[in-house]
Amino acid sequence: MNGYAGHILRVNLTKRTHTISPLPEDLARDYLGGRGFVAKLMWDEIPQGADPLGPDNKIIAAPGPLTGVFLPGSGKLEFGAKSPASGGYGDSNIGGHISPEIKYAGFDALIIEGVATEPVMLVIEDHNIEIRPASEYWGKGALESEAMLKNDLGEDFQIATIGPAGENLVYFACISHDFGRQAGRTGVGAVMGSKKLKAIAVKGTKSVPLADTKATIEVGKKMFEACFEKPGFEEWTPQGTAGVTDWVNEVGAFPTRNFKSGYFPKHQFINGEQIVTQIKVTDKACYSCPIPCGKYSHAKTPKYDVHVEGPEYETIALIGGNTEIDNIKDCAYANYICDELGLDSISAGNVIGFAMECYEKGVIKGEDIDGRTLNFGSVDDFVWLANDIAYRKGVGNVLAEGVKTASEKFGEDTARFAIQVKGVEWSGYEARYAPAMMLSYITCDVGAHHNRSWAITYDVASGRDVMEGKAQRTIELQHIRPLFDMLCLCRLQWVELGFELDWYPQIFKAVTGREFSFEELLGFSERIWNLTRCYSLREIEGFGRSFDYPPARFMEEPITDGPTEGKFMPRESIDYLLDDYYKLRGWDNNGIPSQAQLSKMKLEFAEPVIAPLRK
């Protein structure tokens, strides 16, 4: 099959065996790749009711049909596993170079099952597969162990690792790769840790089969040329995602002080300009990317001397604004600490902001934390708590399971300011005055993550008081963006440069030989959106509408200052948005897909599971 490497690798860590089987044609035909493979394989393979951190959960890692091919941004990989954070569908995307390498080694998906008794690593060299002992790397940082493995195996291996947070089953532990790329969300790193799998190392030498080589070269070249011509090619790249920091503050959507405010008065000290002038060493790209968003940096003060990729926008928002760390070097240092510990910097900033507010309110007391402090603005406080979370010490042990679980344990109305949905912490956009962005967060299939639909610009352009049309736009974006995750391409060329979406069907045809309009490709994405909903419905008791609400802070407390001061989104508005959204999606009032919708999506196989859940 053109575009595909042609094989699936299944590794069983309990039995220490592996099998290589041909990629099923119908899987490729109906689910395309990446996120499509992840969702379908999770549905088929992970037994219902599996403990996310037990032997029955599986890690799926899947590149897509365009991964590793000559076109802009073809270096993404989709990881998936039942999420310890939500208990439902979980996936997370990573850039760098490991995804193409998996394809060059000959695989369209890795399925990792069982648990090892001792720390191990998976070493893939084309079709030579080994499960090797990894005790000497266990306990080491995510970056440190990658450096050790590069040294021991060879520079030409692409390596994914977990840090202590993953080993200690922190619910927001990430998988790290390429010294600064992370599959951050939904706790995929903890699932790796639960399997005692410290690392995946890959080296491949094979070619990706192409339907039409000449056309691939031609269209690929034209795509790069089109990127070169966009104004953003020169203007956006130097600062990368951090360039949006000032604008998000201008529109009052910057998470500040555990989402009390949408404006951080000191944002100009942590913006993209500060990265360029103070810490940047190199612009660092994922495979085949013309607009390297990675800002590899060196932050040095008398207190620390660290190299780190970033901080990118999300880290600036959640570590900078949300815990009020007000200078770029300290943000970079806190980012480095998270990366080395293997903590998702989004959730870490959110969780630590929550803990700082608990401390401020006296819910966490000095005596609970050995007389240390937990003050907003203190990088030292950030760092000690990040460490205690990763090693599950003291209050860190409670916070290691995320703000939802922590707020249930702390009580005292802390759930009101535990800023999460479905157990996954909210990322970098305050949405109390941005209805489409709000809806994007609350309906995102993996919890409060922005990457399925980034609608804040649409809210600003179309009117932030307007409720009509927001569900429609959110749904469109929820199909477009995850399509990139199915093809395993980066979406930033489209988002940031305005690169035309029409290019993708053209290159898809050249590579795979299959001809679709962009609209038709979106149909595949809609199917997956319905399937991931079904997955969470199957796994989480009582799942449905009640899981699609923001925390009370967003529905009841006005934003404290800045351009959006006084704004909040009352429950009735949320209800309006959800009603509209469910109707357009063909879901019932409780957010459950109708039988007609499931058959329209060719998901009849889910009907027996879903039918009893409908009222």
Binding site for other proteins (CB under 8 A): 68-70, 97, 100, 104, 143, 146-147, 155, 178-179, 204-208, 210, 213, 216-217, 220-221, 224-225, 227-229, 233, 281-292, 294, 296-298, 307
Q: From the list 285, 385, 395, 399, which residue makes contact with ligand SF4 (rule: CB under 6 A)?
A: 285
Q: Which residues are CB-neighbours of 148 under 8 A, at least 6 positions away? A: 136, 137, 140
193/18 Cα distance (integer angstroms): 19
Q: Which of other proteins, ligand SF4, none lies near 121, with the C-beta cut-off 5 to 8 A by kind?
A: none
Among 492, 555, 577, 598, binds ligand SF4 (CB under 6 A): 492
Tell me how far, at minimum, the Cβ of 252 lies from other proteins, in Å. Answer: 34
CB of 42 or CB of 337, closer to other proteins:
337
- Going by C-alpha positions, the residue among 53, 335, 57 that lies closest to residue 169 is 53
Nearest to 450 by CA among 241, 165, 191: 241
Taking contact as CB under 6 A, which single stretch among the options 37-45, 151-159, 283-291, 336-344 is the one that binds ligand SF4?
283-291
293 is a contact residue toward ligand SF4 (CB under 6 A): yes
377 touches ligand SF4 (CB under 6 A):
no
Give min distance, CB of 198 to other proteins, in A: 18
* Integer Cα distance of 51 and 49 in angstroms: 6
SS3 of 98-150: the string is HHHHHHHCCCCEEEEECCCCCCEEEEEECCEEEEEECCCCCCCCHHHHHHHHH
228 binds, options other proteins, ligand SF4, none, Cβ within 5 to 8 A by partner type: other proteins
Residue (of 498, 517, 489) closest to 72 by Cα position:
489
Smallest distance, other proteins to C-beta of residue 602, A: 31
294 binds ligand SF4 (CB under 6 A): yes
In the chain, the N- to C-terminal Cα span, in Å, equals 43
Partner from ligand SF4, other proteins, none contacting 490, C-beta within 5 to 8 A by type: ligand SF4
Residue number with CB closer to other proteins (307 or 392): 307
Q: What are the tokens at 492?
A: 């930033």
291 binds ligand SF4 (CB under 6 A): yes
Query: Dihedral angle at the C-alpha atoms of 442, 443, 449, 450, nearest 10 degrees?
Result: -100
CB of 126 to other proteins, least distance (A): 8
The residue among 295 and 585 lying less far from ligand SF4, judged by its C-beta, is 295
Answer for which of 286, 475, 480, 598 binds ligand SF4 (CB under 6 A) is 286
410 versus 454: smaller Cβ distance to ligand SF4:
454
Contact of residue 281 among other proteins, ligand SF4, none (CB under 5-8 Å per partner type): other proteins
Shortest Å, Cβ 490 to ligand SF4: 3
CA–CA separation, 487 vs 37, rounded Å? 10
For position 94 contacting ligand SF4 by CB under 6 A, the verdict is: no
DSSP-derived 3-state class of residue 293: coil
Q: How many residues of this chain bind ligand SF4 (CB under 6 A)?
A: 12
Q: 34, 109 in Cβ contact below 8 A?
A: no
Q: Residue 2 contacts by C-beta under 8 Å, 6 or more apart in sequence?
A: 209, 210, 211, 511, 512, 513
Report if residue 95 touches ligand SF4, rule: CB under 6 A. Answer: yes
Q: How far apart are CA 325 and CA 12, in angstroms?
A: 43
Q: Which residue lies nearer to other proteins by CB, 294 or 396?
A: 294
73 binds ligand SF4 (CB under 6 A): yes
311 is a contact residue toward ligand SF4 (CB under 6 A): no
Q: How far apart are CA 324 and CA 379, in angstroms?
A: 9
Q: Which is nearer to other proteins, 267 or 280 (CB)?
A: 280
Tokens of 342: 């293997």
Tokens representing residue 507 in the block: 């290159």
Taking the least distance from each CB to other proteins, the nearer of 10 and 206 is 206
Q: Which amino acid is at 478?
A: Q
Q: What are phi and psi of 552, to 5 degrees?
A: -55, -35
CA atoms of 567 and 549, how far apart (whole Å)? 17
Peptide bond into 311 cis (omega under 30): yes
Smallest gap from Cβ 298 to other proteins, in A, equals 7
Tell whether residue 66 is a contact of ligand SF4 (CB under 6 A): no
Q: Six-digit token pair at 456?
A: 């804040």
Q: Which does 48 bind (CB under 5 to 8 A by kind): other proteins, ligand SF4, none?
A: none
Catalog residues that contact ligand SF4 under the rule CB under 6 A: 73, 75, 95, 285-286, 289, 291-294, 490, 492
